[in-house]
Amino acid sequence: MANWFDLFGRSAAPSGGAPEYLVVGLGNPGKEYVYTRHNAGFLAMDYMTEKLRLPDLRALKFKALTAAADLGGKRVLLMKPQTYMNASGEAVKEAADFYKIPPERILLISDDVAQEPGRMRIRRSGSDGGQKGLRSVIEHLHSDAFPRIRIGVGAKPHPDWDMADWVLGKIPEADREKMFSIFGCVAEAVPMVLDGRIDDAMGKFNGVKF
């Protein structure tokens, strides 16, 4: 399969100014985790930066790979925490505290075992749903009032399967095309959410199935 991300050109660096919003893709750092189910948030961020011609996330700040960008009419800090999934909240809180960004201006992108591959769900707020990265963010922010985009990776095939083994397993070839299509939807939805059109984004994408 061709590299998913060598598809679009790069733009110049954004104009400047302090970020007013955070967009955070959740995942685990390290080559061994790149194409695992748990890294759907990282993969979606990588796809989005390519498709929307945003800067590479290369600067290591706030325990995350970061890049500043103009997106959805807002000044945004893009983040991929390097703390490992279970401690994602450490990176998010550091950036939020530094820029004085409230939870409602923090958009999280994560995997979701409750949805099958080829689906996504946008929510304004809510519980972590068992996703440990979201749980960490909620604990560190002392709030669940942040929007999130959850990308379906499928449920484990049998109750006896270990959940950690499942989410750290590689995305099967049969599911990659569906997820590639969903990443395109994420890239379209993120600017809409930042622009305050979350209801439009939910109406357009929450029923999508590939």
Asked whether the predicted pLDDT for residue 6 surpasses 50, the reply is no
- Determine contact, residues 71/210, Cβ cutoff 8 Å: no
Closest CA to 93 of 82, 85, 102: 102
Which residues carry out catalysis? Answer: 38
CATH level 3 topology of 21-205: Rossmann fold (3.40.50)
Task: Name the percent of the chain lying above pLDDT 70.
Answer: 93
- Residue 89 pLDDT: 98
Locate 99 and state its tokens: 């820029």
Asked whether the predicted pLDDT for residue 145 surpasses 50, the reply is yes
- Listed in sequence order, the residues at least 6 apart from 66 whose beta carbon sits closer than 8 Å to its beta carbon are 57, 59, 60, 77, 78, 79, 80, 95
- Residue 14 pLDDT: 46
Asked whether the predicted pLDDT for residue 1 surpasses 50, the reply is no
Asked whether the predicted pLDDT for residue 12 surpasses 60, the reply is no
3-class DSSP assignment, residue 165? helix
Could you report the per-residue pLDDT of 31-83, keeping only the tens digit for each? 999 999 999 999 999 999 999 999 999 999 999 999 999 998 899 999 999 99
Could you report the per-residue pLDDT of 150-180, keeping only the tens digit for each? 999 999 988 888 999 999 999 999 999 999 9
Asked whether the predicted pLDDT for residue 90 surpasses 50, the reply is yes
Question: What is the rounded CA–CA span in Å between residue 15 and residue 4?
Answer: 28
H-state helical runs in 9-162: 40-51, 88-99, 132-141
Average pLDDT over residues 97-108: 98
